[in-house]
Amino acid sequence: MDRRTGRLLQRSRILSQILFTVIFFFLLVRSGGGDAARLPWAGLFFYFDPLFLWVVLLAGPFLRIFLLALAPLLLTLLLGRFFCGWVCPLGALNQFFTWLGSRRRQRLVPVARKPLRLKYLLLVALLAASLFTVQLLGWLDPFSLLTRSAATVVLPGANALLQQALLAGPEPLYELGRRVLLTVTQRTFLQAAGIGVIFLGLLLLNLHRRRFFCNYLCPLGGLYGLLGRWSLLRLAINPKCRSCNACAGHCTYYGSPFKDYLKSECVVCFNCVVDCPEAAIDLRFGFPGAGRRPALDLGRRRLLGASAVGLAAAALPLVAPARSSRTHAFLRPPGAVSEKKFLEKCIRCGACMQACPTNALQPAVFQAGLEGVWTPVLVPTSGYCEYECHRCTQVCPTRALARLTLEEKKQFKIGTAVIDRSACYTYADGYNCAVCEEHCPVPEKAIRLRDVEVHDFRGRLRKVRQIYVVPDLCIGCGICESVCPRSDIPAIRVGAEEEQREIPSG
């Protein structure tokens, strides 16, 4: 194949990467506001992810839309790991940072086979654990990782930086920026620092090794690599080759079709074709049986070992108290299925947090156990569940949050408010307050007022309009907790008491 054709294909690949990245971010940003009816589109990329096909297959009920994930699987049998090279937005970002860190003169680094194996072993371990209902694929899946990082760090972070920059400038510019670019309120997230450091770290690692995450860590890349080794499309060297090894100069995995061709690692980027001075690299379709089958040797023992590790690791959450505990100190978003199923279905992508208009949904730290890290919890001190909103239930790709209609969601009980009588002004201090009562969105009012006399801190009897909760009416939206004017601890708090968990049909 001549260089011109190679360059054309290389540029098409870059264009394709940009295009899919733009679509990805467009859908993500759009899910943060606007028309709720379009929200299911936010999950588009997830539906094409075979790892999540596996998740809904295991956890059930099966969601047919995930059959879309068969498309990239089949195409991989034809084209190899094109998905990693041409489609994946996280791959594109990694490629971009690789390019940022690349020097004009490339140092030739031999292929490091050991670290390349890591992603396969991770995949095998995660799949093995998932058979035992310990479903942690979302921690490393590129779409979960990118959505989570973008929703909780990149987008709010960009907003915060931009706001500070605009504040330093002239006021009309700030006003304009605030109108067209900034969000009305700055979003904040519990684990922003943790998620951000991981994300930034992964991006910076590209400066050390090309597409670090894709080559060494990505379980989806691992899956495509396992299939890609059987693909019909292959690169081949023709007799024009002078063994100069120039093709290794920009190879994504530091290989070269000339010397170290590993089909499972090749993301069909066409860098080698462009680098070859002799047009000695061809692109051919051929059956995998024909000729040698270049692939990474994973080793049966290593694979068995990884499965064993995955299985053994699965025991850790199973013996942790979080799963069997009758009580818990966190709230799940509306529509959440039973906790055990929720942990199995939730892919830790943070799409619900992006869609939540009030910033109420937050990635768990350790509230829900180690297994629950990055699953969504509703934190009323951060935001409340808006009565007229059901956005999170519309974006959840795997239906860990059942798709509730607005009317269903209004009835859905997330928890119950309890009054801390030692902190509430209307109990402890003998003062009127009732901010919570004012905000309670239940039309019949789950928080009500009664006229009583209480002793204030001086011991004087005072007439007070005291608040009380009607537990049966309370839906646990948490707006009461979020508006309680106390500056130390909210005097009314929502706990998981009487929480409803959607039982999935079918």
Partner 1 sequence: MLVSSGLLMSPLVRAQAGTVGQADVIQVKGASPYEITQRAVAELGGMKRFISRGDVVMVKPNIGWNRTPEQAACTHPEVLRAVIELAFAAGARKVVVMDNTCHKAEDCYQRSGIEAMARRAGAEVRFSDENRLVLHDFKGEVLGKWPVYRDHLEVDKFINVPILKHHGSSGLTIAMKNLYGILGGNRGKLHRDMGENIADLANGFRSHLVVIDAWRVLVRNGPVGGRLSDVEERRSVIASPQIMHADVAAAALFGRDARQIEFLQAAHERKMGEIDIAKIALKSLSA
CA angle 212-32-34, nearest 5°? 145
From the list 381, 370, 332, the residue with the least C-alpha distance to 493 is 381
Q: Whose Cβ is closer to partner 1: residue 84's or residue 385's?
A: 385
**Choices 119-127, 201-209, 337-345, 387-395; region in contact with partner 1 by CB under 8 A:** 387-395
Q: Is 465 in the site for partner 1 (CB under 8 A)?
A: yes
Q: Which is nearer to partner 1, 14 or 473 (CB)?
A: 473
Distance CA 447, CA 499 (A): 17
Binding mask 415-434 for partner 1 (x = CB under 8 A): ----------x-----xxxx
The first and second tokens of residue 51, run together, are 């790892």
- Of the pair 386, 497, the CB lying nearest partner 1 is at 386
d(CA 373, CA 199): 16
> Is the Cβ–Cβ distance between 352 and 396 less than 8 Å?
yes
Among 251, 272, 273, 440, binds partner 1 (CB under 8 A): 440
**Taking CB under 8 A as the rule, does residue 388 contact partner 1?**
yes
Question: Are the CB atoms for 384 and 361 separated by under 8 Å?
Answer: no
Among 278, 386, 420, 497, binds partner 1 (CB under 8 A): 386
Strands 461-469 and 447-455 come out as: antiparallel
Per-residue x/- track, 352-381, partner 1 (CB under 8 A): -----xx-----------------------
Q: Three-state SS for 418?
A: strand
483 binds partner 1 (CB under 8 A): yes
The owner of tokens 């297994």 is: 371
| Residues in contact with partner 1, shown as a per-residue x/- string from 21 to 60 under the rule CB under 8 A | ------------x---------------------------
Closest CA to 191 of 394, 397, 348, 31: 348
Min dist CB 438 to partner 1, Å, is 6
CB of 191 to partner 1, least distance (A): 22
Contact with partner 1 (CB under 8 A): which of 118, 449, 454, 473? 449
- Which residue matches tokens 């922003």? 192
By CB under 8 A, which span of 16-24, 108-116, 279-287, 439-447 interacts with partner 1?
Answer: 439-447
Distances (CA, A) of 117 to 225, 253, 258, 308: 10, 12, 21, 16
Alpha carbon distance, N-terminus to C-terminus of the chain: 53
Residues that bind partner 1 (CB under 8 A): 33, 167, 178, 184-185, 357-358, 386-389, 425, 431-435, 437-445, 449, 465, 483-485, 487
